[in-house]
Structure 1
Amino acid sequence: MAKVAFLGLGVMGYPMAGHLKAKGGHELTVYNRTFAKAEAWVKQHGGRAARTPKEAAEGQDFVFCCVGNDDDLRQVTIGPDGALQAMGPGTVFIDNTTASADVARELQAKAKALGIGFVDAPVSGGQAGAENGVLTVMCGGEVSDYAKAEPVIAAYARACKRLGDPGAGQLAKMVNQICIAGLVQGLAEGLHFARKSGLDIEQLVEVISKGAAGSWQMENRHKTINQDKFDFGFAVDWMRKDLGICLAESRRNGAHLPVTALVDQFYGEVQTMGGGRWDTSSLFARLEKK
């Protein structure tokens, strides 16, 4: 059992912190920008609620974080009441936020100067993966820091792997999102074509999902797509944030991402339709509207 803080209790962080408490058996202190949400978590799971990241991090062995973007991450780590101010040498900060590789490297350097470990550890698996404790965790950081963090991360992970130096976890998450963008667009176009052709989508997917066209997106999203239901899941607004990170990184490393750039534009159209909080599978709704 370790002393653990968790910063950020959104749709992902809330259940992830719960698994650290229930499955991992760790002593938890939680922080959320809206304090009432931290109080609600404590009422459900036990532990303690803190009013600032600094207060939450004080005396902890590990500090986890899952917030919105680079600016949010800097605020909870090196801001006026940031967690790094309270962490001691030998402790480890594990960042589950999907953010840029640049900010991961920046914060790792600041943490290292204080004798604190830092692992960038973005996750994949969505809200359902977080709730069921079966996320895929892509990590970057020094070998010794990762070795300390991995057994604790296991409380909410189905798969966890170090992929390289600081920033490598975020780069891997970019690859994940690039692949998803193309897959979802392909699925949306395929099911749109099927509907226009008068095919029974349920029967169709029962067949093609067993072959080379099969994917997680097909298995988990075809039913809701066929029902024109998108008011759930990973929001378009967040996907555009992630794809923006991918495209910015590609401009630096010289990678060519024509499909990613196109799908990002399509998601912009979904936002214009009022679907910023819709699931990413709402690319289908854009096609149906045309």
Structure 2
Amino acid sequence: MRVLFIADPLQSFKIYKDTTFAMMQEAARRGHALSVAQARDLALEGGRIMVDATNLTLTGEQDPWYRLGDCYRQPLAGFNAVVMRKDPPFDLEYLYASQLFSLAEQQGSRVFTSGQALRDFNEKLAILQFPDLIAPTMVTCDIGRLHAFVNQHFDAIVKPLDGMGGDSIFRLRPDDANLNVILETITQRGARTVMIQRYIPEIRNGDKRVLVIDGKPVDYCLARIPKAGETRGNLAAGGRGEARELTARDREIAETVGPVLKRRGILLAGLDVIGDYLTEINVTSPTCFREIMDQTGLNVAGLYIDALERELAHH
């Protein structure tokens, strides 16, 4: 099987914790041929979606961990599977790539996650499809409405709709001296739509990343525990990751969302769960495989490649 990974530059990988690397390792171990490209290497030429792809060999060493072979332009449909692992933000370039994927899928490409699903499942807004699973939430660019929400709930989290890794997430209270300037800044004075949610105090026990592969929850989640004085559990914001078995509620959330993801062609998603509430559905480039694998011995990358092989066998 020929697998193309579309990812950020390889030199930026931290392989001791990189989920894409864990996927590559597992695919290579099974004898699949690996290639790599960036989203910018996609092009439409002569009516076909082409890609400048480079053959990739894993060395099994720490440094250098990869060896690059020849790079040549070829139809995207020439690969058995295209695995989209470019990190957010989901900006216009990401959107254009997803539209090229949709064209490529009409030409026979198998893209994971599909272009359509990438567009449909905004990582913040997707939770609104599951109103029974979420904390009180509002989406608006209206500063007055955001003020009213903070006054109603006394403690709130506001975030942009296109961030990642905890960027630009603010905790707000009615008596915060900076409340006005935070709301003006994050909404760009009412020009940008944001999400505001009631603050969930259980964040101190961890912002849990629950992985869903092929519609089913992985048995362990990664609780990302904020460092002292911090409201964000994101590992990128200095949080500590601790693998845990799913609680009954974690499983209930994942089993509610999972079939919808599967129906929409989303092979892998990372649900963010705080306390009893679903807070995000990450589909662009979910992480935390390696931490769960290292702490529990569960081969999460194996579960993912199993699912990929099953999908390809069906078609």
TM-score, normalization by structure 1: 0.32
Higher RCO (CA < 8 A, seq sep 6+): 2
Greater strand proportion: 2
